[in-house]
Amino acid sequence: MLVIGPEEVSTTRAFMNRVADCGCEGSLRKQVSILVVDDNKVIADTTSAILNRFGFCATAAYDGVTALRLAAESSPDILLTDIVMPIVNGVDLAISVRKMLPETAVLLFSSQAATEDLLEDARREGYLFDIVNKPIQPEELVYHLNRVHRNSRPH
């Protein structure tokens, strides 16, 4: 059983408020919603701010446990997650989100070369995820996000 602390509750409220502010709730979404997950708060917040300026509805989460709960509550269009994080790494998070929300596109990003083992484990389970390296230019990140979003939608 997950016990939610005060910080996580406020994070959930902030995420849901951000989704509402963007007009992302309901079936008439105007913007693509992105859940940005990185245990480095500066990276998560900065990436979210940049994506919001590009017209996305992006919100940050700082760990995989909180991100999984937020994904279940809000069904983001895209999960953008760091790979190397404590407790729940980004690959395990991506697999869990994919099982729970198969329509959610996933893009992994990491600055660490030690992610190959995690990705190989996911491949053996039948999960293939796109990955980009940090640091990444905002325009290049937007390109990759648009690509995974297009490829995740039914044709």
pTM, full prediction: 0.78
Q: How confident is the model at residue 79 (pLDDT cuts 50, 70, 90)?
A: very high
Mean pLDDT in residue range 45-67: 95
Domain ranges for the chain: 6-22+31-152
- CB 64, CB 85: distance < 8 Å: yes
**In the structure encoding, which two tokens stand for residue 2, read together?**
């997950």
Residue 1 has pLDDT above 90, yes or no: no
Which pLDDT belongs to residue 8? 44
Judge whether residue 23 has pLDDT over 80.
Answer: no
What is the distance, to the nearest Å, from the Cα of residue 104 to the centroid of all Cα atoms in its chain?
Answer: 9
88 burial class (0-12, 13-18, 19+ CB within 10 angstroms)?
Answer: middle
CATH architecture of 6-22+31-152: 3-Layer(aba) Sandwich (3.40)
How far is residue 29's CA from residue 32's CA, in Å, rounded to a whole number?
7
CA distances from 7 to 3, 12, 24, 63, 65 (A): 11, 9, 23, 12, 13
